[in-house]
Chains A and B, each alone.
Chain A
Amino acid sequence: MNCHADTTASTSIVATNTPQVMLVGQPNVGKSVLFKRLTGQYVTVSNYPGTTVEVARGKAMLGEQSMDVVDAPGINSLQPLAADESVTRSLLLERQATTVVQVADTKNLSRALFLTLQFAELDIPLVLDLNMVDEAQRRGVRVHNDDLSRLLGIRVVSTVATNGQGVETLLNSLRSAQVPTVQVAYTPDIEEAVEGIENLLPATLEGKRWYALALLARDPQLEQELDLGKAHLTAIERIRAHAQDGQGRSLRQVITQQRWQAIAAISEQVYSRQDAGRTSWGERLGWWSVHPILGWPILGAVLFLLYKFVGEFGAGTLVGLFEDTLFGKFVNPAVSGLLETLAVPAFVQEFVAGEYGLVTVGLAYGIGIVLPIVATFFLAFGMLEDSGYLPRLAVMLNRSFQRIGLNGKAVLPMVLGLGCVTMATMTTRILGSRKERVMATLLLALSVPCSAQLGVVLAMVGWLNPGGVFIWAGVVLGVMLLVGWLASRLIPGESSDFVMELPPLRMPQLDNLLIKTMARLEWYLKEVIPLFLVATVALFVLSKTGALAVVEAVMKPLVTGWLGLPEQTAGYFLVGFLRRDYGATGIFDLARQGLLSPNQILVSLVVLTLFVPCVAAVMMMVKEHGLKTAAAIVAFVFPFAFLVGGLVRIVVGG
Chain B
Amino acid sequence: MPAPASSAAPGITRCAICGYEYDAALLTCHAACPLGAHCAVICCPRCGYSTVDPARSSFTKRLVGLIQHRAAETGKTEAGGATRLLDLKPGQCGHVADVDGDSDTLLQLSQYGLLPGTPIRLASKYPVPIVQVGQTDLAIDRSVAAHIFVDL
Contact = CB atoms under 8 A, between A and B. Distances in A.
Interface in A179-228: none
A257 B115 contact: yes
A108 to B, nearest CB: 5
Interface stretch (B19-27, B56-64, B70-78, B122-130): B122-130
Given A81-B108, A111-B113, A256-B115, A499 B141 contact: yes
B127 A290 contact: yes
B138 A141 contact: no
Contact of B112 (A141, A292, A498, A501): A501
Contact of B107 (A81, A295, A395): A81
Given A81-B108, A249-B102, A257 B137 contact: no
Contacts of B144: 497-499
Interface in B82-126: 102-105, 107-113, 115-118, 123-124, 126
A498 B128 contact: yes
B138 A501 contact: yes
A111 B123 contact: no
A341 to B, nearest CB: 65
29 contacts: A76-B112, A77-B111, A81-B111, A108-B135, A111-B113, A111-B134, A114-B111, A114-B113, A252-B107, A253-B107, A260-B110, A260-B113, A260-B115, A260-B117, A290-B139, A291-B124, A292-B127, A398-B127, A399-B128, A407-B141, A497-B105, A497-B144, A499-B108, A499-B144, A501-B136, A501-B137, A501-B139, A502-B139, A503-B137
Given A257-B115, A395-B128, A108 B136 contact: yes
B8 to A, nearest CB: 37
Interface in A547-561: none
A498 B124 contact: no
B128 A81 contact: no
Nearest to B124: A290
A139 B132 CA distance: 14
B143 interface: yes
B140 interface: yes
B104, B109, B123, B127 pick with most chain A CB within 10 angstroms: B127
A435 B115 CA distance: 29
Contacts of B140: 498-499
Interface size on A, as a range, is 35 or more
The 5 closest A-B pairs by CB, nearest first: A292-B126, A498-B141, A76-B111, A502-B137, A107-B135
A500 interface: yes
Interface in A101-148: 105, 107-108, 110-111, 114, 139, 141
Chain B binding surface, main DSSP class: mixed
A322 interface: no
A504 B135 CA distance: 10
A499 B109 contact: yes
Contacts of A395: 127-128, 130, 139
Nearest to B126: A292
A107 B132 CA distance: 13
A108 B126 CA distance: 25
A250, A252, A261, A290 pick with most chain B CB within 10 angstroms: A290
Interface size on B, as a range, is 20 to 34
A396 interface: yes
A442 interface: no
Nearest to B111: A76
A77 to B, nearest CB: 5
B127 A256 contact: no
Contacts of A290: 124, 127-128, 130, 139
Contacts of A252: 107
B103, B110, B143 pick with most chain A CB within 10 angstroms: B110
A396 B115 CA distance: 26
Contacts of B108: 76, 81, 499
A25 interface: no
B102, B104, B118, B135 pick with most chain A CB within 10 angstroms: B135
A396 B127 contact: yes
Contacts of A407: 141
A436 B102 CA distance: 21
A256 B124 CA distance: 27
B116, B117, B126, B143 pick with most chain A CB within 10 angstroms: B126
Given A395-B130, A502-B139, 10 more contacts: A111-B111, A111-B112, A114-B111, A139-B135, A141-B135, A256-B110, A398-B141, A499-B138, A501-B112, A502-B137
A287 interface: yes
Interface in A384-413: 391, 394-396, 398-399, 407-408
A496 interface: yes
A399 B139 CA distance: 13
Nearest to A113: B113
B107 to A, nearest CB: 6
Nearest to B132: A502
A500 B115 contact: no
Contact of A408 (B102, B112, B139): B139
A249 B110 CA distance: 13
Nearest to A407: B141
A292 B127 CA distance: 5
A502 B104 CA distance: 20
Contacts of A253: 102, 107, 110
A256 B107 contact: yes
A24 B101 CA distance: 30
Contacts of B134: 108, 110-111
B127 to A, nearest CB: 5
Contacts of B109: 499
Contacts of A261: 117
A118 to B, nearest CB: 11
Contact of A399 (B111, B127, B130, B135): B127
A497 B141 contact: yes
A287 B124 contact: yes
A386 B47 CA distance: 71
A295 B135 CA distance: 22
A395 B124 CA distance: 11
Given A81-B104, A499-B105, A110 B139 contact: no
A111 B138 CA distance: 13
A128 B130 CA distance: 30
B128 A398 contact: yes
A292 B129 CA distance: 11
A110 B119 CA distance: 13
Contacts of A496: 104-105
Contacts of B113: 110-111, 114, 260, 263
Contact of B128 (A77, A105, A257, A408): A408
Contacts of B102: 249-250, 253
A394 B139 contact: yes
B139 A500 contact: yes
Nearest to A82: B108
Contacts of A498: 128, 139-141, 144
A76 B107 CA distance: 11
Given A395-B130, A408-B128, A497 B143 contact: yes
B130 A502 contact: yes
Contact of A295 (B117, B127, B141): B127
A396 B139 CA distance: 11
A343 to B, nearest CB: 68
B149 to A, nearest CB: 14
